[in-house]
Amino acid sequence: MHKSGFVNIIGNPNVGKSTLMNAFVGERLSIITSKAQTTRHRIFGIVSGDDFQIVFSDTPGIIKPAYELQHSMMDFVKSALEDADILIYMVEVGEKELKDEAFFAKINKMNVPILLLINKIDKSSQEELENQVAYWKEQVPKAEIFPISALEGFQTAEVFNRILELLPESPPFFPKDQLTDKPERFFVNEIIREKILLNYKKEIPYAVEVETEAFVESEQIIHIRSVIMVERETQKGIIIGHKGEALKKVGVQARADLEKFFGKQIHIEIFVKVNKDWRSNARQLRRFGYKE
């Protein structure tokens, strides 16, 4: 017998969704920072064994969309709610002030198993944790509750084993050696975007999109050419920085991660271009893979 299914991870921004998926897959497929809206796409992380295949979906955090890009991000969340075989709803210790009754009502009515993971318990006391479990039992009675630490790997094996038990009988959806649905260039873009999230303040990271124009692999080395797209001339100046120092730092940091990710020497050139209001432009969003 072979089991296979879609296990979709949803939750508020910054609760640790990407950290959990990477931990299960054993690769840094999803970028992680302490900033909300780090994850903009729905990303598959595929874990296969002899008789099972779990297709995890990492998704953007749930937000009220303010512009077209964020609408597309929430469409990824919606589709993850619709096609799950098992739903992982992740919360973090102490987030109960973000109560959303309509959302709870919706997931309580879903007819797939729901695992409600209370993450970051490394930061909580035993008493606080007990209160949290009681609270979530009341809000989402349908869910099985697991207190975990995605970062420290606490109780994540238990969650994984429960997923294996709940997984429906099915042939695999992807070749057994496939790790993700995204092409190599996607991960180049994401690694560069992570460095932008880490190096620039305020609005800058949210105005940025990265596009990789060339990815040429030979036996020894991968040659990459990427473009950082911003919405305004002033943002371009900030990205490049005084004498190009800021952009150089992004390049050095990205290259180090790319070498780890691809296991090869990397040569990378990064340019900055203005692409006015790309975040609000449906055609541009389609081009960057945010829309069908």
Contact residues for ligand GDP (CB under 6 A)? 13-19, 32-34, 38-39, 61, 119-120, 122-123, 149-151
Q: How far apart are CA 186 and CA 288, in angstroms?
A: 10
Q: Which of 4, 8, 12, 18 is close enough to bind Mg ion by CB under 5 A? A: 18
Least CB distance to ligand GDP at residue 29 (A):
11
> Which two tokens mark 70?
């964020």
- Of 183, 200, 188, whose CA–CA distance to 268 is shortest? 188
Tell me how far the alpha carbon of residue 267 is from its chain's centroid. Answer: 26
Q: Indicate whether 132 belongs to the interface with Mg ion (CB under 5 A).
A: no
Least CB distance to ligand GDP at residue 60 (A):
8
Least CB distance to ligand GDP at residue 115 (A):
15
- Closer to ligand GDP by CB, 34 or 111: give it: 34
What single DSSP character describes residue 209?
E
What radius of gyration, in Å, describes the C-alpha atoms of the chain?
A: 20
Least CB distance to ligand GDP at residue 248 (A):
25
Q: How far apart are CA 136 and CA 186, in angstroms?
A: 36
Q: Indicate whether 57 belongs to the interface with Mg ion (CB under 5 A).
A: no
- Closer to K ion by CB, 14 or 124: give it: 14
- Closer to ligand GDP by CB, 17 or 193: give it: 17
Q: Indicate whether 235 belongs to the interface with Mg ion (CB under 5 A).
A: no
**What are φ and ψ of residue 17, in 5° steps?**
-60, -50
250-279 mask for Mg ion (x: CB under 5 A)? ------------------------------
Q: Indicate whether 156 belongs to the interface with Mg ion (CB under 5 A).
A: no
Q: Where are the alpha helices (DSSP H) in the chain?
A: 17-25, 68-82, 101-108, 126-139, 156-166, 184-199, 233-240, 245-262, 282-287
Q: Which residues bind Mg ion (CB under 5 A)?
A: 17-18, 39
